[in-house]
């Protein structure tokens, strides 16, 4: 079984840029690693205190989370995303969100002979999740095509990884209506929702988008980026109570439960927006420094309205751009990680320290 599963999955993409990493690491002033969206700024003190205070946790946590955590999730969704009509039955904490993306087709029973719609340029785990379930990954950016594809699950992502495009309310409504017409679950990955730069992100759970009904809808949120808590593996899904309840039952059997101290840290983080605004300001400063430097070095920026990345091209194969930047001591992600439509782009992350971003900008200007 393990061999059959491994045969279906692609090679781990990050292994393919090992040579570029070696070149960038040899730069006299050191590597500037902008390849992975891993937060580098401190986890807020309020989370660390809450984690420590809850560290005496001898008993098993519940998969559904503590009542305090469910209340914090609901409060955050109401305050920040305008969500209404949602109750405890419609929220569920996650052990990070990557595991949920990878397991959702399986947990929903979408398997062989069925399809999972994913964005044409996308975070690779959407396709991996369909492969794990034995379903077909169907790249599609046009909701009208759902009537031909008839999938069991549809993934959308706004602000998007890797290219940062943001779907407006009208576009989201089209996805909601089409998914409901074909009877598919619509899962909206909103993990970068706090980082809209040129447009304001909207949740699929907003009544303006869904007409006041959560039927068939799931929204996925993570604290990794908004709260510099990637090491905590803290996220949640919210939406249609019937679907969430079914997921809860399956996850109970699988033992997918968030550690009690992490749940306490989530409560503290979700009840505080100040640290999120501080982190937004950090990323915005880095973006404003790095973007013109890339342009000066001959790169064109596309999309990038939100998220923590700049989506760049020099109208050449992405691997040539990776090599060019590695020669400057800058490591980035090649677009072919994210689908064949992206093979002329590279993804440049903002997740480096101020000093490293400044170093990258200086090298880019010097190369122009």
Three-state secondary structure string covering 144-201: HHHHHHCCCEEEEECCCCCCCCCCCHHHHHHHHHHHHHHCCEEEEECCCCCCECCCCC
Model pLDDT for residues 42-75, shown as the tens digit of each residue: 999 999 999 999 999 999 999 999 999 999 999 9
Q: 329 — alpha (psi -120 to 50), left (phi > 0) or beta?
A: left
| pTM given for the model | 0.95
The reported pLDDT for the residue numbered 1 is 45
- Using alpha carbons, select from 99, 93, 66, 53 the residue that is nearest to residue 258: 93
Q: Which residues of the chain have pLDDT under 70?
A: 1-11
Residue 30 CB: number of other CB atoms within 10 A?
12
Strand, helix or coil for residue 118: strand
- Using alpha carbons, select from 174, 180, 172 the residue that is nearest to residue 200: 172
Q: Which domains does the chain have, with CATH numbers?
A: 2-42+275-367 (3.90.1150.10), 56-272 (3.40.640.10)
The reported pLDDT for the residue numbered 76 is 98
The reported pLDDT for the residue numbered 22 is 97
The reported pLDDT for the residue numbered 198 is 96
For residues 6-24, one letter each, b for 16 or more C-beta atoms within 10 angstroms of the residue's C-beta and e for the rest, the string is: eeeeeeeeeeebeebbebb
The reported pLDDT for the residue numbered 14 is 74
The reported pLDDT for the residue numbered 10 is 66
β pairing state of 185-189 and 300-302 = unpaired
Q: Which helix (H) or strand (E) holds 92?
A: strand 91-95
The reported pLDDT for the residue numbered 48 is 98
């Amino acid at each position: 079984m393990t061999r059959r599963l491994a045969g279906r999955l692609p090679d781990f993409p990050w292994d393919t840029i090992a040579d570029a990493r070696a070149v960038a690491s040899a730069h006299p002033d050191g590597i500037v690693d902008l390849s992975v969206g891993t937060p580098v700024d401190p986890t807020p003190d309020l989370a660390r205190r809450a984690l420590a205070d809850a560290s005496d946790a001898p008993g098993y946590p519940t998969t559904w989370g503590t009542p305090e955590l469910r209340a914090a999730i609901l409060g955050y969704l109401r305050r920040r995303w305008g969500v209404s009509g949602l109750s405890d039955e419609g929220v569920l904490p996650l052990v990070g969100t990557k595991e949920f993306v990878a397991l959702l087709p399986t947990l929903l029973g979408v398997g062989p002979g069925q399809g999972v719609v994913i964005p044409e340029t996308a975070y690779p785990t959407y396709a991996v999740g369909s492969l794990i379930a034995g379903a077909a990954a169907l790249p599609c950016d046009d909701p009208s095509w759902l009537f031909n594809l008839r999938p069991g699950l549809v993934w959308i992502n706004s602000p998007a990884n890797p290219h940062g495009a943001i779907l407006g309310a009208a576009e989201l409504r089209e996805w909601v209506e089409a998914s409901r017409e074909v009877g598919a679950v619509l899962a909206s990955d909103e993990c970068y929702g706090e980082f809209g730069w040129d447009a304001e992100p909207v949740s699929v759970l907003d009544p303006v988008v869904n007409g006041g009904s959560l039927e068939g809808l799931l929204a996925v949120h993570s604290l990794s980026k908004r709260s510099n808590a990637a090491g905590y593996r803290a996220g949640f899904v919210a939406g249609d109570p019937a679907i969430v309840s079914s997921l809860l039952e399956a996850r109970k059997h699988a033992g997918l439960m968030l550690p009690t101290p992490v749940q306490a840290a989530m409560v503290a983080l979700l009840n505080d927006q100040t640290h999120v605004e501080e982190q937004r300001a950090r990323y915005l400063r880095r973006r404003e420094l790095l973007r013109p430097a890339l342009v000066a070095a001959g790169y064109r920026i596309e999309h990038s309205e939100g998220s923590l990345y700049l989506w760049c091209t020099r109208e050449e194969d992405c691997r040539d751009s990776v090599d060019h930047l590695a020669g400057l001591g800058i490591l980035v992600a090649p677009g072919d990680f994210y689908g064949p439509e992206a093979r002329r782009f590279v993804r440049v992350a903002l997740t480096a320290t101020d000093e490293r971003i400044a170093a990258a900008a200086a090298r880019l200007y010097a190369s122009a």
